[in-house]
Amino acid sequence: MDSIILKSHAKVNIGLQVLDQREDGYHNIHTIFHELAFHDTVTFSKTDDACELSSNDENLPTDASNTCAKAYVAVKVHCPDVAGIKIHVKKEIPQGSGLGGGSSNGASTLKGMNELYGLGLSNDELTELSLQVGADVPFFIRGGTQLGEGTGEQLTQLDIELPQSILVIIPGMYISTKWAYSRLRKKLETEVKAPNFAGLVERGEIPFQFFENDFEKIVFSTYPEIGLIKDQLLANKARFASLSGSGSAVFGLFDDEADARSAELLFSASNKTMLTRPHTR
């Protein structure tokens, strides 16, 4: 086998509490990660040496800063006999949307190299390697629906029922995660009581009224049009709506696909929209 193609899925955050900043620069969080069927497509091909990156998105970095390149380095250090790899990322998940596209691409590279070169690495071993690539990358090794704590690397698989129709609205703007966290600095100077997300998830259900995203006040005050998207989703029968990550994407969970399709018509003329479903493994 000289090449393989993998789907690199998006995620949304159901609730996101930022607790404090760590000495390593990362932040401790509480969140529920939820994987979507919506995905990028990543093609991996064997080469003699190094990592060669390309993409249909001309704005995607193809240097050592890319999570795919970082993942290649992590595997190469762990398995020095591995040769090179050519990676083409067909992007559908916009950058700066809070949907985890870069982290997902990094996880897909770890899994792709494992499969392509027959390395036989377990999911636990891939998760260890993923810690070297980025904060959200460990989630995408197993995916599904998981409680995320620590920097997002302390993960607990959840078996819960969620609405099957998910409408994602992606405004045409890029929001820097670094900028969003810098604006949270004042909030982090005050004492924060961590919500017990694990305790709130009972009987296989999420009490949505208790789940908030700390980035919403920051992002909505700077970009009120994004806050309006959330309001419109809730006004059009979404059971829950929220910013994902630090944005800019906003998503709504719908019990009825017909309601989700009707709501999509309100946004599709001026925003990228995606009606998708949970991704189950």
Pairing of strands 250-254, 240-243: antiparallel
Are 259 and 237 contacting, i.e. CB atoms less than 8 angstroms apart?
A: yes
The span from the CA of 57 to the CA of 94, in Å, is 9
Q: Are 19 and 29 in contact (CB under 8 A)?
A: yes
Is residue 276 classed as helix, strand or coil in its secondary structure? strand
Q: Alpha-carbon distance 130 to 103, whole Å?
A: 9
**Residue 11: active-site member:** yes
- Per the CB < 8 A criterion, the answer to whether 221 and 184 are in contact is no
Q: Which candidate in 11, 70, 91, 230 is catalytic?
A: 11
Is 49 part of the annotated catalytic residue set? Answer: no
Whose tokens are 């829950």? That residue is 240
Q: Which two tokens stand for residue 208?
A: 């949505």
Handedness of CA 187, 188, 192, 198 (dihedral sign): positive
Radius of gyration of the chain (CA): 19
Active-site residue identified among 40, 91, 111, 136? 136
Instruction: Judge if the upstream peptide bond of residue 248 is cis by omega within 30 degrees of 0.
Output: yes
The pair phi, psi for residue 64, each rounded to 5°, is -65, -15
DSSP letters along 130-153, please?
Answer: HTTT-TTHHHHHH-SEEEEETTTT
Question: Does residue 75 contact residue 113 with C-beta atoms inside 8 Å?
Answer: yes
What length does the chain have? 281
Residues involved in catalysis: 11, 136
